[in-house]
Amino acid sequence: MPRLGEQLDYAVSSFGYSSVYIWITAFMTIFLTDYAGVPAAAVSLLLLVVRFFDAVNDPLIGSIADRTHSRFGRFKPWVGIGGTVMCILIVMMFATQKSWPLHLKIIWVWVVYILITVASTCQQMPYNALCGVITSSAEGRIKLSNTRMVCSSLGTNFTNLIAAALILTFSGTHRTVSTARGYLGAVIFSVAIGLPFMLWTAFRSRERVLPPPVQRREGGRVPVRTMIKCLTGNKYALICVVGQFVAGFHAYGRMTIMTYYFTYYEGDFKLYSMTGMIGMFTGIVGSGVIAPWIYKMFHHKGKAVGFSFAAAGILVAPMYWFSAKGVWFWVFYAVSTAVGTAASGLRYACDGDNTDYAEYKYGVRVDGFLSSFVSLSLKAGGAVGPAVMLAVINSLGYAVNVHQNQAVMNALNISMSFLPAVLLLIIGVTFWFGYDMDEKKHKEIVRVIEERHREQGSAIDQKGDR
């Protein structure tokens, strides 16, 4: 069971990554179009193409990480090196100059963004797998994942809170208008804070759960057919893949629609800032308090994940009847977000157990490969969700900068309340009835795996003596 210090050694990387990568997810588009002079069409095409590129990138990096052998471990070197390269590339992205020739800017942005995506994957895929190899304890993985979610929430909201002030500060003395120089200075400042946390995890974490001795002796190589079986023949991993797709559809789709909701439905975009302020606290409460309480109630990850996602869905539905200009809207937003954050932390703790089951069934350990598909499904859902929601409001007659018709207004309200409720309930029901690996079953799987390792190790030693 990892102690608090070891939990933090693992989790602080998520603070560093989230505090830096938020510049790409939240600020890159407006920087490129408004400050670097890149046409919006070129930026939109870039974002779409890179989504498809991820479909190949994620599993490839995950499987390569599985075959890595170094005195530092399989995954830790990737966390440190990938994080360092990613930070350098993000600075390069925000160094794009408006004065450059247009064709040079477009080439620069495309190349740098693709490399950022690769470097981000090199950091995140192994980091996701690292939780499962620090400990084989189901409860220990819960603690690691919950601490990770707390740090991730703190990192994202920390940057959101200080970003505007940083941009104005680095834009120049007494600046009241943001500039490209301000963005670059703010990004460098964030990198200087965030990168050390990623390196801390790379140097301080310990990898204890190893592949079978035979797999290690063969250099970690696993046939592609066997890796695919570890996914397609693993109902627990498939449930997580489906759950993450729906979660991505919900989370990214809702984040996209929020800007329209506050602008047109509520008529006050400034209310949007409340989501960041509340998020700072709901992340801590959800992952640090609610998630451990729910797991102790069930001692069963499938039931815990299912209950928490379903509860978040039930709690988000009442937002349909309340305005964001009143208190009750934010009460239900805060509570549903806290429970939803708890659900995400519990879900991430399943990845190591999925890999244990694959090794139990097929005799090989592919932490990175399985984690990559779970992550890929989240990204896929995150690409489909915003596209579908925007297509819906466009089909209902959405128009820019005008009062929207009633059909669009209803769709915006439903997209903030009933639609998330349905999606979260789908995830909850899927895990509650499908993910049937309780603590007793997982302990038996770990016992069998450890016995096999001892037998394989003894057999290899006997061959060596001969």
**What are the pLDDT digits (tens) for 17-66?**
999 998 887 788 778 888 888 887 788 778 777 766 766 777 788 888 88
Whole-Å CA distances, 68 to 61, 76, 143, 328, 463: 11, 10, 26, 51, 25
Task: Check whether residue 124 and residue 243 sit in a common domain.
Answer: no
How buried is residue 222: exposed, middle or buried, by Cβ count under 10 Å (0-12/13-18/19+)? buried
Task: Check whether residue 183 and residue 254 sit in a common domain.
Answer: no
Task: Check whether residue 120 and residue 268 sit in a common domain.
Answer: no
Residue 266's φ and ψ, nearest 5 degrees, are -90, -25
Task: Check whether residue 200 and residue 282 sit in a common domain.
Answer: no
Residue-number span of the structural domain to which 311 is assigned? 213-449
Of 401, 233, 430, nearest in space to 313 by CA:
430
Identify whether 459 is part of a domain: no
Question: What CA–CA distance (Å, rounded) separates 358 from 371?
Answer: 12
- Check residue 161 and give its pLDDT: 78
Task: Check whether residue 151 and residue 231 sit in a common domain.
Answer: no
Of 224, 344, 216, nearest in space to 279 by CA:
344
140, 175, 209: which is the final residue of a domain?
Answer: 209
209, 242, 264: which is the final residue of a domain?
Answer: 209
**What are the pLDDT digits (tens) for 129-166?**
898 889 888 888 888 988 998 898 889 888 877 887 88
Identify whether 385 is part of a domain: yes
Residue pair 81/126 in contact (Cβ under 8 Å)? The answer is no
- Check residue 64 and give its pLDDT: 84
Identify whether 405 is part of a domain: yes
Identify whether 124 is part of a domain: yes
Identify whether 157 is part of a domain: yes
Task: Check whether residue 243 and residue 261 sit in a common domain.
Answer: yes
Question: Tens place of pLDDT for every residue, the chain, 466 residues?
Answer: 678 889 999 999 999 999 999 888 778 877 888 888 888 778 877 877 776 676 677 778 888 888 887 778 889 999 999 999 999 999 999 999 999 999 999 999 999 999 998 999 999 889 988 988 898 888 888 889 889 988 988 898 888 778 878 888 898 766 667 788 999 999 999 999 999 999 999 999 998 888 888 777 776 678 888 889 999 999 999 999 999 999 988 887 787 777 778 888 888 877 777 777 787 788 889 988 999 999 999 989 999 999 999 999 999 999 999 999 999 999 999 999 999 999 998 998 899 999 999 999 999 998 888 988 888 888 778 777 877 887 788 788 887 677 888 998 999 899 999 999 999 999 999 999 999 998 899 999 999 999 999 888 877 766 655 5
How buried is residue 224: exposed, middle or buried, by Cβ count under 10 Å (0-12/13-18/19+)? exposed
Residue pair 371/128 in contact (Cβ under 8 Å)? The answer is yes
Task: Check whether residue 199 and residue 341 sit in a common domain.
Answer: no
Task: Check whether residue 11 and residue 88 sit in a common domain.
Answer: yes
Identify whether 460 is part of a domain: no
Task: Check whether residue 205 and residue 243 sit in a common domain.
Answer: no
* Tokens encoding 11: 């989790």
Task: Check whether residue 157 and residue 284 sit in a common domain.
Answer: no
Question: What CA–CA distance (Å, rounded) separates 20 from 191?
Answer: 6
Task: Check whether residue 303 and residue 416 sit in a common domain.
Answer: yes
Residue 137's φ and ψ, nearest 5 degrees, are -75, 130
164, 194, 209: which is the final residue of a domain?
Answer: 209
Task: Check whether residue 388 and residue 273 sit in a common domain.
Answer: yes
Identify whether 401 is part of a domain: yes
* Tokens encoding 224: 């592609």
Residue pair 347/240 in contact (Cβ under 8 Å)? The answer is yes
CATH number at residue 138: 1.20.1250.20
User: Does the reported pTM lie above 0.85?
Assistant: no
Identify whether 265 is part of a domain: yes
Q: In total, how many domains does the chain have? A: 2
